[in-house]
Chain A
Amino acid sequence: MGVFVFLPLVLPLTAWPIARLAEHRLHPRVATRLLSAVAAVLGLCSSLCLALLAIVGTAQLPGNPLPDAWADPEVRAAVPHDEVIGKAAVAALAAAAASCAALLLRHVRVRRRTARALRGLPGAQVAVLPDELPYAHTLPGRGRAGRVLVSTGMLAGLTSGERRVLFAHERAHLAGRHHRHLLLAGLAARANPFLRPLRTAVAYTVERWADEEAARAVGDRRITARAVAKAALVSRPTPAPVLAGLAAEPGPVPRRVAALLGPAPAVRAWPPLFTTVGMAVWTAAAGAVVSAMSSANSAVTMFLILRAATPL
């Protein structure tokens, strides 16, 4: 296995170019699916290799729960090992697992609490709640149980056309099951911190995807842009002081509005290879494939060696 077991830990870096470019150069639906799939593969392979390193690295530590034969000199010779790396791998694996578990728990908790809060309301898909605090959320649910929560404070700031945009946007989240992409990318980012840019990119492309669906449903890109902008202006919190010049790049909302004021993005499954974005896509795809191959290679090698070493 040798170097192959370390490769999946750093291969997430191959997805950075596309995480950066997908936002502008790919259709948001394609970008969301591509990025979350790549993130899932890279995150899974990285975790698998971390687990392998942890097993190899700790087999010789006293008191470990693994079979004694795994620490035999012959096995040691066949499997490159390092105690420091092994210990570090155990710690990293534990941290990643705890972080992923925390995210899953929070998902379950928020969904359960929200469902409880809405109990007793008539079962329409859209729930308008009398609250002056402006908000609009999508609550995912099993099958068709998903709901859209909009406060009257939010609706008060919008015209009827803009409200249609808001509802179309939230319904697109439900119909496209966007929360799954977000959860997948979120878990991947917690499994390997190198995947964090992908999580940020998916959070953005999911909103863009819903924006485009809303623009199509309403048939007017300009009113869609205005709805997004007005909703953001209505629901902004007390503005935090921003150090001038520190933040160079505009936040997600202005970028969404700018994208909506431009032409609709073209739907193309794969961009041509010899463009910047094409290169980026193929780099990420190649990274995911190499990551899958090397972690499979390491896993199979290790399985064979350890099976030979384990007395039955």
Chain B
Amino acid sequence: MRDGQRDGSGEPGGPARRRGQGELEAQVLSALRAAPEPVPAGWVRERLGGTLAYTTVITILTRLRAKGVVTRQRAGRSFAWTAASDEAGLAAHRMRRVLDAEADREAVLTSFVSSLPARDEELLRRLLREAGADGGLGEESEGRGR
């Protein structure tokens, strides 16, 4: 939790305000992951030091739920929250959104392989077959066809 404040703008003056939404999401998620059982939002707020407004915590929990990384269940008149995935799951969700937003992302992010037209696929398989390097490639293609 302390780390989060240091990660922000680094200014000691503005504690919670300066933290970006993304960072808050990560903090709420890691707090929830430390919970032994489904916990109410107030527990998360306490765990984060109590500086955040209760509604902020609810907003972030709701947003995390939309991303599928936390779940909730009825507990009396309110909800009890559980982490459904770890920080990597949250990052994966966000990353997918970045990748979807950038149609031409290969101009910026170097990727391991570029997209493969259909005609290249056959060529690729033939190349590997001829070189005798197709360990496991043939079976896989059959499995895919079924």
Contact = CB atoms under 8 A, between A and B. Distances in A.
Contact of A131 (B30, B92, B105): B92
Contact of A229 (B26, B117, B137): B137
B15 to A, nearest CB: 17
Given A135-B99, A179-B110, A240 B118 contact: yes
A29 to B, nearest CB: 15
A127 B113 contact: no
Interface size class, chain B: 35 or more
A117 B127 contact: no
A219 interface: no
Contacts of B128: 225-226, 229, 257
B88 interface: yes
A235 B113 contact: yes
Interface stretch (A60-68, A248-256, A286-294, A296-304): A248-256
B110 A226 contact: no
A134 to B, nearest CB: 9
A152 to B, nearest CB: 8
Interface size class, chain A: 35 or more
B131 A116 contact: no
A164 interface: no
B108 A111 contact: yes
A222 B117 contact: no
A159 B127 contact: no
B9 to A, nearest CB: 13
Interface in A199-257: 206-207, 210, 222-223, 225-226, 228-233, 235-237, 239-242, 247, 250-254, 257
